[in-house]
């Protein structure tokens, strides 16, 4: 299957390259905006052309988000090369074989989300930029696979208001009958001028969603107000706010017997109580100041503050009790109530100077960044076993458990960093980019309620120096070759110590990458990259219950992407990624890292009818995604193999007189598949056939 997919994409790429130049521009109804974006901001901290960036950046524009009817950021991952969804939380993403954390997800280049339990809403999203590989040199501590940068919508100077409603339901035999489990999302987006130099934007979203899983429901509210003041031709100030309140049912998924996914119960089977919950509440405030000091000197200042709480109360899946037969297998649950608070304050300011040195154009970026993060994790209830256990196929919910209070942990993380980047145009066709960064991080951890297993109070300080260098050579107007080397870092938790009682050193990473970009025309663009990433100082548990930095993980991979408009009213986007991720040292030597598929691939195409139908425009789309098998643990003794799967999606769109209608069917064949999991006691299934109807009116 992997070989067939690779060959098909290779043939497709060759045929498209040979034919693309022969296309003539045709003016027709239903002209589409390309999915391809030839500029991005994440890789250089300023807007740069793809032909001058020696890195891999994948951009998902708002046009594709709309065509997919993606309500969440995670809904775009299957159609983004090299990304894999691996869970329900906001940071449950695998990029180039490495799982992200919250620091890998940025909002306009700044850390901190207003949601942790669920993926962010797309209602305030203009586009999504994914920078592949370590991003520490410009953004600080993070995991090495890549960074997701959410670029939000800005106020506009032209008055525009849209009112949008999405209705969704499932249609799956034996899981959720048509009309049984429904959802509604309503979005108001209004923008326009307040005065000649002042513009506003206000977005409000309300959601009420019923899952195909029994008694799993969500009620969410999001508000995004913003103001843009163009003080002069040289200065602009953007003030924005995000508010999110999510109330959802707690759901730990399925479990299996004998580490065999074929023994899982029906997809709608739930092992949590009807009053178990996962609730999120967050508020963020942002300031962005842009100022041109002169024609060649530019100042940027960003500040972001996030205040976030999440509250989780449930009987959680904990362990499997293998029975004499599969039907006799049962689940042990644990009583848990976790309340977390997070405050995250960060700033980044940089000067950008365009100058000539030694007859070469230099774009210098000198930046200063700071971060203050406070967390307070309170195990209000923890550890009581729920009696009785639950049957795998016929669970009788209820049961009792003791309310044992456990520990409370507070951590304050302070970091400050300085970075310098030089983008050198050696010739008109050759660009060299070099970057360095120095960071100092102090982590102050305290156990404020010492009950249960709570680590001793620890203060640790780390100093980290990272570099990156890359070059891109434009052979001609079509072909470009690039190569880069980058380093990353992520300070270890202060709660983890070695057998001598010392804090652990920082995780280190590095990536080597080479690739080519083929821009045949504005309508036809491709990319191909080869890379290797190593992450060192991976913490592994010792016999004494402490940790040792004995692990190292290596990933080798290939990515290919094609974006093409064969005609003005037809386009497609396709991608292929191959990753081989293994432990090359430590206790897990030779094992495959959990949740890392070797092959992922997709193709998405939309065709608009060239003539109007009843005075409106009709469009059709089809998407196919493929994900290879994954394992729920890196240990062969505890893992479950989740099989490979392919999914087919389809859409229809009709626009007339400022009205837009769409019908999207996800998983049109009702394929049963599993997205992710933890060992054998927490397995998450993919959605069965889901139907979404969207109605939008523009005023």
Asked if residue 21 has pLDDT above 70, the reply is no
Asked if residue 406 has pLDDT above 80, the reply is yes
Rounded distance between C-alpha atoms, residue 233 and residue 238, angstroms: 14
Rounded distance between C-alpha atoms, residue 341 and residue 277, angstroms: 17
Tens of pLDDT along 463-481?
A: 999 999 999 999 999 999 9
**Inter-residue long-range contacts of 396-402, CB under 8 Å, 24+ positions, other chains counted:** 397/271, 397/272, 397/273, 397/274, 398/273, 399/315, 399/333, 401/315, 401/333, 401/334, 401/335, 402/335
Phi first, then psi, for residue 491 (nearest 5°) are -55, 135
Nearest to 581 by CA among 519, 650, 522, 535: 535
Tens of pLDDT along 107-136?
A: 999 999 999 989 999 999 999 999 999 999
Under 8 Å between Cβ of 598 and 22 = no
Residue 340, CA distances (Å) to 154, 311, 327, 573 in order:
31, 6, 37, 40
CATH topology of domain 2-698: Maltoporin; Chain A (2.40.170)
Tens of pLDDT along 84-113?
A: 999 999 999 999 999 999 999 999 999 999
Grade residue 8 by pLDDT with cuts at 50, 70 and 90.
Answer: very low
pLDDT at res. 24:
45
Asked if residue 11 has pLDDT above 80, the reply is no
**Which residues in 496-614 belong to E strands, given as ranges?**
507-521, 524-541, 547-567, 570-585, 599-608
DSSP tag of 124: T
DSSP tag of 328: G
DSSP tag of 52: G
Record the pTM. Answer: 0.94
pLDDT at res. 28:
55
Rounded distance between C-alpha atoms, residue 249 and residue 234, angstroms: 49
Residue 352, CA distances (Å) to 16, 286, 292, 296, 495 in order:
39, 21, 9, 8, 39
Rounded distance between C-alpha atoms, residue 383 and residue 332, angstroms: 12
Which residues sit opposite 224 in a β-bridge?
203
Of 169-173, 525-529, 546-550, 679-683, the least confident: 546-550
Rounded distance between C-alpha atoms, residue 368 and residue 642, angstroms: 44
**454 vs 571, which has greater pLDDT?**
571
Under 8 Å between Cβ of 627 and 674 = no
Query: By percentage, how much of the chain surpasses pLDDT 90?
Result: 89
For residues 183-198, average pLDDT:
98
For residues 561-573, average pLDDT:
95
Nearest to 473 by CA among 424, 522, 436: 424
For residues 354-375, average pLDDT:
97
Under 8 Å between Cβ of 36 and 563 = yes
Domains in the chain: boundaries: 2-698
Q: Is 230 exposed, middle or buried (0-12, 13-18, 19+ CB in 10 A)?
A: middle
Tens of pLDDT along 648-676?
A: 999 999 999 999 999 999 999 999 999 99
3-class state of residue 489 by DSSP: strand
Mean pLDDT over all residues of the chain? 94
Asked if residue 16 has pLDDT above 50, the reply is no
DSSP tag of 506: P
Q: Quickly tell me which residue has 């390259």 as its tokens.
A: 17
Rounded distance between C-alpha atoms, residue 274 and residue 297, angstroms: 59
């Amino acid at each position: 299957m992997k070989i067939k997919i690779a060959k098909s994409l290779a043939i497709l790429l060759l045929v498209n390259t040979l034919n693309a130049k022969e296309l003539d521009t045709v003016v027709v109804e239903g002209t589409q905006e390309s999915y391809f974006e030839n500029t991005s901001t994440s890789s250089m901290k300023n807007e740069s052309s793809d032909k001058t960036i020696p890195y891999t950046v994948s951009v998902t524009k708002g046009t594709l988000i709309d065509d997919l009817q993606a309500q969440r950021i995670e809904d775009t991952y299957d159609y983004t090369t090299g990304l894999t969804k691996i869970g329900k939380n906001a940071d449950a993403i695998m990029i180039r074989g490495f799982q992200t954390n919250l620091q890998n997800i940025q909002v306009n280049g700044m850390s901190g989300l207003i949601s942790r339990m669920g993926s962010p809403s797309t209602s305030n999203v203009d586009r999504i930029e994914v920078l592949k590989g370590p991003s520490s040199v410009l953004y600080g501590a993070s995991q090495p696979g890549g960074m997701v940068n959410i670029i939000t919508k800005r106020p506009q100077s032209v008055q525009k208001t849209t009112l949008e409603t999405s209705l969704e339901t499932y249609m799956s035999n034996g899981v959720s009958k048509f009309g049984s489990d429904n959802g509604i999302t309503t979005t108001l987006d209004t923008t326009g001028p307040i005065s000649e130099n002042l513009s506003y934007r206000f977005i409000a979203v309300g959601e009420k969603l019923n899952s195909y899983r029994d008694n799993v429901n969500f009620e969410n509210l999001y508000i995004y107000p913003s103001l843009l003041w163009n003080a002069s031709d040289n200065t602009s100030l953007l003030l924005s706010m995000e508010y999110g309140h999510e109330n959802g049912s707690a759901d730990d998924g399925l479990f299996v017997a004998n580490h065999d996914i074929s023994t899982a119960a029906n997809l709608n089977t739930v092992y949590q109580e009807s009053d178990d919950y996962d609730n999120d509440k967050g508020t963020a405030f942002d300031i962005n100041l842009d100022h041109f000091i002169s024609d060649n000197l530019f100042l940027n200042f960003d500040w972001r503050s996030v205040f976030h709480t999440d509250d989780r109360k449930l009987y959680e899946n904990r362990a499997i009790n293998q029975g004499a037969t599969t039907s006799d297998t049962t689940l042990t649950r644990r009583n848990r109530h976790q309340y977390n608070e997070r405050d995250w304050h960060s700033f980044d300011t940089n000067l950008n100077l365009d100058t000539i040195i030694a007859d070469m154009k230099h774009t210098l970026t000198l930046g200063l960044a700071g971060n203050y993060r406070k967390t307070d994790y309170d195990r209000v209830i923890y550890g009581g076993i729920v009696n009785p256990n639950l049957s795998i196929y016929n669970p009788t919910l209820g049961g009792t458990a003791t309310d044992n209070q456990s520990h409370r942990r507070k951590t304050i993380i302070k970091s400050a960093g300085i970075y310098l980047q030089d983008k050198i145009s050696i010739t008109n066709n050759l660009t060299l980019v070099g970057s360095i960064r120095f960071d100092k991080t102090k982590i102050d951890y305290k156990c404020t309620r010492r009950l249960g297993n709570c680590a001793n109070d620890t203060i640790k300080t780390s100093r980290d120096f990272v570099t990156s260098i890359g070059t891109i050579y434009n052979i001609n107007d079509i072909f470009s070759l690039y190569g880069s080397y980058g380093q990353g870092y992520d300070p270890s938790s202060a709660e983890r110590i070695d057998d001598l009682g010392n804090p652990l050193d920082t995780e280190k990473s590095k990536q080597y990458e080479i690739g080519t970009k083929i821009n045949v025309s504005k309508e036809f663009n491709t990319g191909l990259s080869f890379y290797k990433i190593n992450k060192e100082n991976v913490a592994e548990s010792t016999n004494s219950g402490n940790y040792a930095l004995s692990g190292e993980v290596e990933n080798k991979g290939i990515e290919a992407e094609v974006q093409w408009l064969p005609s003005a009213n037809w386009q497609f986007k396709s991608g292929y990624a191959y990753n081989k991720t293994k432990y090359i040292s430590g206790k897990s030597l030779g094992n495959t890292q959990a949740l890392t598929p070797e092959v992922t691939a997709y193709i998405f195409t939309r065709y608009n009818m060239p003539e109007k139908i009843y005075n409106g425009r009709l469009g059709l789309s089809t998407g196919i995604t493929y994900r290879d098998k994954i394992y729920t643990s890196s240990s062969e003794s505890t893992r479950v193999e989740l099989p490979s799967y392919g999914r087919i999606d389809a859409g229809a769109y009709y626009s007339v007189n400022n009205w837009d209608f769409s019908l999207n069917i996800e998983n049109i064949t009702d394929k049963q598949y599993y997205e992710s999991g933890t060992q054998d006691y927490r397995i998450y299934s993919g959605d069965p056939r889901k139907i979404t109807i969207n109605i939008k009116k523009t005023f």
